[in-house]
Amino acid sequence: MTRVGVVTFPGSLDDGDALRAVRVAGGEAVSLWHDDPALHGVEAVILPGGFSYGDYLRCGAIARFAPVMDSIVKAAGDGMPVLGICNGFQILCEAHLLPGGLTRNQHLHFRNRDQWLRIESVGTAWTGSYEAGQNILVPVKSGEGCFVADEQTLDLLESTGRVVARYVPGPGLSEEGYNPNGSLRDIAGISNEAGNVVGLMPHPEHATEALTGPSVDGLGFFTHVLGHLGRVSA
């Protein structure tokens, strides 16, 4: 069974949900501890949502220096799939595994709601179970979810197909208010050049079971990485 690690930092909130999503998808969920550099034989890593180290300094700025992150940065460079969700996305940017950064929502309010996304890139280790242009519904919950980067970086992400998902209008979301945080070019998620590292501000782990989520649309992130790893190791 494919082993997928989920890191717990002081202040993580969604590590349990990410572990459950891995199990629902059919993988073996492995808890990783921020102060332990060992990855314990996992084949992929998820950095979950929450408020790592209380979000002091900047969101993710302290977590970037956790002992486990040294191992994750090296493993990502060697091709290991890594998914950062919400605070995990912020950590990936602070660790320079992804470009740009996440700042306060432009309206300065915490946004917590079900959110429509359009999957733009299916060429990553996490998104290949979707179709390009497919709309999915997953929760978003963040106060510092506004993705920013300079125009050159934004153009590079667009031209190389590294925008993974965008905020889009949908039922319950107005044409003016569909972007929950003011992210530039409506960007909800991006990948690195190799496609093994993905950062996503909304929460697919909260949309894996009909009983608790607004949909099961998020499950594809977790099932695909298991299939991807199975093909790589075959």
Give tens-digit pLDDT for 147-157: 999 999 999 99
Task: Evaluate if residue 173 carries a pLDDT over 80.
Answer: no
Closest listed residue to residue 141, CA positions, set 112, 183, 178, 108: 112
Q: Residue 155: which residues within 8 A CB-CB, separation 6 or more? A: none
Amino acid 114: pLDDT: 96
Local confidence band at 234 (pLDDT 50, 70, 90 cut-offs): very low
Least confident of 77-91, 125-139, 164-178: 164-178
Express each pLDDT in 200-231 by its tens digit.
Answer: 999 999 999 999 999 999 999 999 999 999 86
- Asked about 203 being catalytic, the answer comes back as yes
CATH code, domain carrying 228: 3.40.50.880
Local confidence band at 175 (pLDDT 50, 70, 90 cut-offs): confident
Among the options 43, 120, 144, 205, which is catalytic? 205
- Asked about 86 being catalytic, the answer comes back as yes
What average pLDDT does the structure give for the chain? 95
Percentage of the chain lying above the pLDDT 90 cut = 92
Express each pLDDT in 48-102 by its tens digit.
Answer: 999 999 988 889 999 999 999 999 999 999 999 999 999 999 999 999 999 999 9
Among the options 59, 120, 203, 228, which is catalytic? 203
Number of folded domains that form the chain: 1
- Asked about 158 being catalytic, the answer comes back as no
Among the options 34, 43, 59, 86, which is catalytic? 86
Indicate left, alpha or beta for 230 from its phi (over 0: left) and psi (-120 to 50: alpha): alpha
The stretch 98-109 carries a mean pLDDT of: 95
Task: Evaluate if residue 233 carries a pLDDT over 70.
Answer: no
- Residues spanned by the domain of 24: 3-233
Rounded to two decimals, the pTM is 0.96
